[in-house]
A and B are shown apart, each in its own frame.
Chain A
Amino acid sequence: MSSSAQRRALRKELLNASRTSASPVVVDMSGCNTLNHDDVDCLLECIAEVAGRDTLVLLVAGSPANRVLLEVTRIGSLVPVFNSMQEALADPQVGDSITLKVPQTIPSPQVGSA
């Protein structure tokens, strides 16, 4: 994930999906190299917002490092986490699902003189 606009978009998509459909929502972070502070906050907000609904949210870590960070932040104990999309789709509780792709991480702008 990168900019705040992308995070807002993801949150909006997730909320829309949870309102309009009962299908599980798979948040695919395969394109995301690493998670920063805002990414973790965004994920926690999204999970909290759909917590009262029937929608099942699942995460695809995409990389071992992301998987570790999801466990360290306890997100892994809130929602199911899979290593890959294949692994997630093979899970019987997924069925017909909506997939939200998290955009590629954009490095933070360097601060300094030109």
Chain B
Amino acid sequence: MNMPVAIVVTVIYVAITIYLSWLGYRRTRSAADYLLAGRKVHPFLLAMGYGATFISTSAIVGFGGVAGFMGMGLLWLCFLNIFIGIFIAFVFFGKRTRAIGRHLGAHTFPELLGKRFKSKWLQIIAGAIIFITMPLYASAVMIGVVRFIEQTFHINYDIALLGFAFLVMGYVFFGGLKGVMYADGFQGAIMLVGMLFLLIFTYYRLGGVVDAHEGLTQLVSNLPQKFIDMGHAGWTSMPVFGSQLWWVMVSTIFLGVGIGVLAQPQLAVRFMTVNSGKDINRAIGIGSIFILMTVGVTYVTGSLSNLYFFNNFGKIAMQMAVDPATGQANIDTIIPIFMNSAMPKWFTYIFMLILLAAGMSTISSLFHAIGTSFGRDIFQQIFRESTHKKTIVINRIGIFVAFLITIFLAYKLPISIIAIATALFFGLCAACFLSVYCGAIFSRYMTKYVAWVSMSSGFLMWLFWILFIHLKESSALGVCSFIFNKPSLAQGTVLVFVDPIIVSLPVAALVAIVGTIIARKKANTVA
């Protein structure tokens, strides 16, 4: 790939994006204009905006790499992304969120919870959780782009990260957070067209749909023994039921991300900006096609990369991803390596744009949520007399601090981390917010106290599980080793592979349901 050409392409792309953001922002300057513009907005833009925010480089590079390792079983996540992330989210959550959010005058996700339960501190704590933990997801998104730059231009990861961080910071601070509607539509369209080509070309190179699948199925005989020991049964089969790999796939990836999407603050808030339920109806179809064409294609391509690598280099994807310096395979490099070796050179420029589009659209939404959490949900709630000017400064400070944390994490996080960090954040959102969010929009009996206890119990259970049970985090964080002299309290059992969401979400949900039933009985008795 030619570096000067890539830089020119990137500059043109960023200029168009900033222009579209400015155009969108100009239209939002007066409520009347906004309404006028909003009513003319095609549902295509709503669907693209939601999709471009939902699907990031984390999904394409991170989860695509996981598909390269685990195989097409990941298509279950694609199904959940479409069925839960689009159908359930839009039809059941979207319309209610819009109606209740507008009625309460809520503009952020924590504000929706705070106003619904009449609790200022619920809003503040929910805002703080978002402000503190969202940089983890933002860093995963950032790593996705940087790994591609590193592999494509053969430049040092740290330098690539610094370059991309400057690009994103410039975008975020020069209008990238305002009026992103048109920019998201543009970014979504790039992703859609690019991924369609990727699907067609991948199947074409491997001899067609059925031949490609059959070739991948037969590759099972070349599965390394250590993968078989983990429960791997080939790239077109599910892992062995109950094995280590099965638990990771089902609990962390399917449930963490598949269900966690419902309680994503940066996605839920989008429903409030929609003009009518009609627009939501219209966007569902386009949104589902978008998700199928982005994540579905990524998982199929990631899995099929094994066949391509084997036919051309005699190695499977995980062997191709071994870093010669460390001898360890980095899952996050599978998709970049595949793109650079299997696709035509001109497509790598398109793919670079896909990743920039996917990364920047998600990052702008994340920093939008971080900024409003810090300024509106935390600062304005504590210091109610805050002026307009003060809030602008506070928002900017909040975004800048979160930005530094994001870059720090992107430097420090270990290899093969994108999908794990994403699932961790999605799981946390599900544990803390999903039950309370459901109560806020579906039940008029859930009280402030029930909301508090449900959110706290979900969070504490999640925290306990990652500190003391789930080996991946507990061994890295070291708290369990420090207190109990072993990396996990469940050492030697299958529980060390079970994701926190499996226990924390049911606990939070149970508390919410039981609490709401009791509150309802009390209300009926009083009545």
Partners in one complex: no
